[in-house]
């Protein structure tokens, strides 16, 4: 009999769903902040600040998830072939990498922009900038941030779709990671 | 009779000539410079929510500066700025500044200013008092200018002057976005003159 637990810990499950909600919210805010015209400058500024706030929260939550994952073995998962488990592992590693990289790329892009705007958490806690405005760097960072974010959203959607599929096949994925 | 008249005229000429010529002599060292975006910069900045400032520039303007570089208290300046030629490094910001809410560049393509130096401060700066006209509204406008640097280059001595002042945008009818953008707009000018 395996020593592995049969589901993720409460903290791991909560942090998983928190990061999922924050990623969706950050994506919605990204669309909103770009769509808003400059004439709606207060709303646009707030959308940018909330986008950055939630993005940096995603980064923090994912760091906590990785720390918990290192401390506690993953729960057992019956009913999936080794090949599917390997692919799932690769997909999850990719998502973890993107969950860390996308906020960092966005943070750097915000600093490199020609018109520098401070980064704050909920307009209260200032986040230091380490780069000076650099339009050439910004022209590289912004599309990379954007493509990485779309890739993350795509992987997350695939991850969710496969979880539903496996759930329908009787694999207890939602019991392992349910809220 | 005619001789007496000529004598009187001669007296007046001799007596009045120095008086008439005095301003010209005093202004003899004054030089007129034509300024534009090639030898000067006009910038502006605004505070937002008390958190940060945005900085923009006007990229087309012309001005006439009369100045004795050794006696800056006689300076006289007049200028015109193309309000549509405004840059601010945020996407969409320039269109907003040209819109009827701000400069209304379609109706008021030019902003004008004129001023004259009125004295020197203890710190060596000189004050320029004048008028600023934006959106067809004229308001008093004051700037504090100073000779920031004088250096020798291959083509001669170059004097760099800086000036700064502040306007209340609401005084020119620009009242939008007051929650986000402060009413006070800082104006900065930098001029390089070959003296």
pLDDT at A72 over 50: yes
Tokens linked to B169: 């945008």
- Under the banding of pLDDT at 50, 70 and 90, the label for residue B9 is very low
| Euclidean distance between CA atoms A166 and A144, whole angstroms | 32
What domain range includes position B79?
29-194
- Give the range among A33-37, A74-78, A132-136, B75-79 with minimum mean pLDDT: A74-78
CA distances from B123 to A31, A129, B71, B120 (A): 51, 35, 15, 8
Question: Which is more confident, B135 or B118?
Answer: B135
Q: Which residues in chain A touch residue B54, judged by CB atoms under 8 angstroms apart?
A: 115
Q: Is B81 within a domain? A: yes
Which residue in the block uniquely carries the two structure tokens 């001789």?
Answer: B3
Q: Is B152 within a domain? A: yes
Q: Is B171 within a domain? A: yes
pLDDT in the model for residue B119: 77
- Under the banding of pLDDT at 50, 70 and 90, the label for residue B30 is confident
| Euclidean distance between CA atoms B21 and B33, whole angstroms | 23
3-state DSSP call for residue B194?
Answer: strand
| Euclidean distance between CA atoms B97 and B87, whole angstroms | 9
Q: Is B16 within a domain? A: no
The CATH number covering residue B61 comes to 2.40.128.110
Q: Is B190 within a domain? A: yes
| Euclidean distance between CA atoms A143 and B66, whole angstroms | 50
Cross-strand partners of B118: none
**B91–A45 C-beta distance less than 8 A:** no
Which residue in the block uniquely carries the two structure tokens 């000779």?
Answer: B147
On whether ipTM exceeds 0.95, the answer is no
**A41–B181 C-beta distance less than 8 A:** yes
- Give the range among A21-35, B53-67, B144-158 with minimum mean pLDDT: B144-158
Question: Model-level pTM?
Answer: 0.83
As a dihedral over the C-alpha atoms of residue A38, residue A41, residue A45, residue A51, rounded to 10 degrees, the angle is -50
State how far Cα A23 lies from the chain centre: 5
Q: Is B142 within a domain? A: yes
Tokens linked to B186: 């800082």
Q: Is B15 within a domain? A: no
The shortest CB-CB distance from B179 to any of A37, A42, A114 is to A42
Contact A150, A100 (CB under 8 A): no
Average pLDDT, chain A: 93
pLDDT at B7 over 60: no
pLDDT in the model for residue A161: 95
Could you tell me whether strands B86-87 and B52-58 are parallel, antiparallel, or unpaired per DSSP bridges? antiparallel
Tokens linked to B160: 């760099």
Compute the nearest-CA separation of B31 from chain A (Å).
38
pLDDT in the model for residue A176: 87
CA distances from B190 to B35, B136, B143 (A): 10, 25, 12
Contact B171, B146 (CB under 8 A): no
Total structural domains within chain B = 1
Q: Which fold has domain A10-177?
A: Fumarate Reductase Cytochrome B subunit (1.20.950)
Q: Is B80 within a domain? A: yes
Mean pLDDT over residues B156-179, rounded?
A: 94
The shortest CB-CB distance from A41 to any of B52, B99, B180 is to B180
Q: Which H or E run contains A52?
A: helix A41-71
Strand order in the sheet with B126-134: B31-36, B61-68, B71-82, B110-120, B126-134, B137-153, B156-168, B181-194, B40-48, B52-58, B86-87
The shortest CB-CB distance from B52 to any of A38, A39, A117 is to A117
Compute the nearest-CA separation of A138 from chain B (Å).
12
Mutate to test the interface with B, among A46, A49, A115 (most CBs of B within 10 A): A115
Q: Which residues in chain B touch residue A120, judged by CB atoms under 8 angstroms apart?
A: 51
Compute the nearest-CA separation of B55 from chain A (Å).
8
For residue A48, count other CB atoms closer than 10 A to its CB.
Answer: 19
User: Is the four-CA dihedral B81, B85, B90, B96 of positive or negative sign?
Assistant: positive
| Euclidean distance between CA atoms B186 and B43, whole angstroms | 8
Taking only the tens place, the pLDDT of each residue in B71-106 is 767 789 999 999 999 999 999 999 999 999 999 999
């Amino acid at each position: 009999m395996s020593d592995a637990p049969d589901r993720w810990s409460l903290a791991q499950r909560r942090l998983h769903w928190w990061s999922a909600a924050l990623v969706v919210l950050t994506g919605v805010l990204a669309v909103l902040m770009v769509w808003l015209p400059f004439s709606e400058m207060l709303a646009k500024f707030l959308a940018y600040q909330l986008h950055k706030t939630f993005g940096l929260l995603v980064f923090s939550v994912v760091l906590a998830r990785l720390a918990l994952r290192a401390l506690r073995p993953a729960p057992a998962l019956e009913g999936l072939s080794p090949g599917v488990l390997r692919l799932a592992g690769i997909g999850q590693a990719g998502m973890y990498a993107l969950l860390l990289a996308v906020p960092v790329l966005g943070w750097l892009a915000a600093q490199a922009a020609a018109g520098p705007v401070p980064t704050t958490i909920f307009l209260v806690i200032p986040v230091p900038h380490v780069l000076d405005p650099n339009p050439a760097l910004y022209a590289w960072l912004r599309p990379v941030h954007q493509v990485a974010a779309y890739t993350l959203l795509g992987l997350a959607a695939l991850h969710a779709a496969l979880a539903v599929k496996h759930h329908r096949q009787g694999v207890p994925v939602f019991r392992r990671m349910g809220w | 009779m005619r001789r007496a008249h000529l004598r009187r005229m001669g007296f007046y000429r001799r007596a009045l000539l120095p008086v008439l010529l005095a301003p010209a002599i005093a202004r003899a060292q004054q030089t007129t410079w034509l300024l534009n975006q090639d030898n000067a910069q006009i910038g502006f900045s605004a505070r937002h929510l008390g958190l940060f400032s945005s900085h923009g520039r006007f990229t087309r303007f012309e001005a006439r500066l009369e100045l004795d570089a050794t006696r800056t208290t006689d300076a006289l300046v007049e200028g015109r700025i193309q309000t549509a030629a405004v840059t601010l490094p945020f996407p969409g910001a320039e269109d907003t500044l040209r819109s009827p809410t701000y400069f209304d560049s379609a109706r008021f393509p030019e902003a004008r200013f004129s001023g004259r130096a009125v004295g020197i401060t203890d710190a060596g700066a000189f004050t320029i008092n004048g008028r600023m006209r934006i959106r067809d509204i004229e308001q008093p406008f004051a700037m504090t200018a100073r000779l920031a640097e004088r250096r020798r280059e291959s083509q001669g001595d170059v004097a760099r002057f800086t000036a700064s002042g502040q306007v209340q945008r609401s005084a020119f009818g620009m009242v939008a976005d007051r929650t986000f953008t402060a009413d006070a707009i800082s104006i900065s000018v930098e001029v390089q003159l070959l003296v």
